[in-house]
Amino acid sequence: MDIYLDTANEQEIEFASKYGFLAGITTNPSIISKENREFRQIIVDISSKINGEVWCQVTGETAEEMILEGREMSTWGKDIVIKLPMTEEGLSAAYQLKQEGIKVNMTLIYTLPQVVLAAKAGVDFISPYIGRMDDHAIDGLQFIKEAKEIIHQMHAETKVIGASIRNPQVVVDLAKSGADAVTMPFYIFKKMFASDLTNIGLKGFLNDWKQYQSAKKSEKSY
């Protein structure tokens, strides 16, 4: 399962750049709006620091506007994925951009009929919003499994990426359920490193090592 981070923050990107196993960085208009920098420059900077895909989302409302934005954004880095909303206009734009060799992701996926259409259009990724589904009594993990089954039966190559992640356990559950990828906020990524037992164990090792070193120094003093 590939791992992406939802962020455009410079400090978080710098931290993420140390982990070559990350598949890339995903952004959206809400994430970009938190940064006091020009949109294009943000994406260019991320692409220069991350060895992976950088996802950026169009804001146009018509297919024509989205296509123009997607073409422009695709030139902002070495491996750009264009995010489009799962609407009539968005899917029309996605199909055209795919014909031009541009990677696309359909975001805000909430229903299985939407999965069918996105897979038929041959998009590279779909992003079901797991957390928001769970908020509305829709089983997000079950949705992922059914989406994967539909895509397999259609002989499509669309990948399913779990989004709107609320805690590290959801990441584990997605890995077990067969999701192709997950994208998570930076704070969730940081939490995945943490364990009190790890800290206790490490402290014990270091204390024992200090005692060992002290004993060796005592032996040498005789």
Q: What is the pLDDT of residue 217?
A: 76
Q: Give the per-residue pLDDT at 216.
A: 76
What is the C-alpha to C-alpha distance for residues 107 and 38, in angstroms, rounded to an integer? Answer: 23
Count of Cβ atoms closer than 10 Å to residue 80 Cβ: 19
- DSSP annotation of 18: T
pTM listed for this prediction:
0.90
Q: Is 99 helix (H, G, I), strand (E, B) or coil?
A: helix
Q: Both tokens of residue 187? A: 């704070």
Class of the domain covering 2-191: alpha beta
Residue 141 has pLDDT above 80, yes or no: yes
Three-class DSSP category at 51: coil
β-sheet bridge partners, residue 55: 26, 81
pLDDT in tens, 30-84: 999 999 999 999 999 999 999 999 999 999 999 999 999 999 999 999 999 999 9
pLDDT tens-digit map of 183-204? 999 999 999 998 888 888 889 8
Q: Where along the chain do its domains lie?
A: 2-191, 196-222
Q: Is 34 helix (H, G, I), strand (E, B) or coil?
A: coil
Residues classed as catalytic: 83
CA gap 65, 107 in Å, rounded: 17
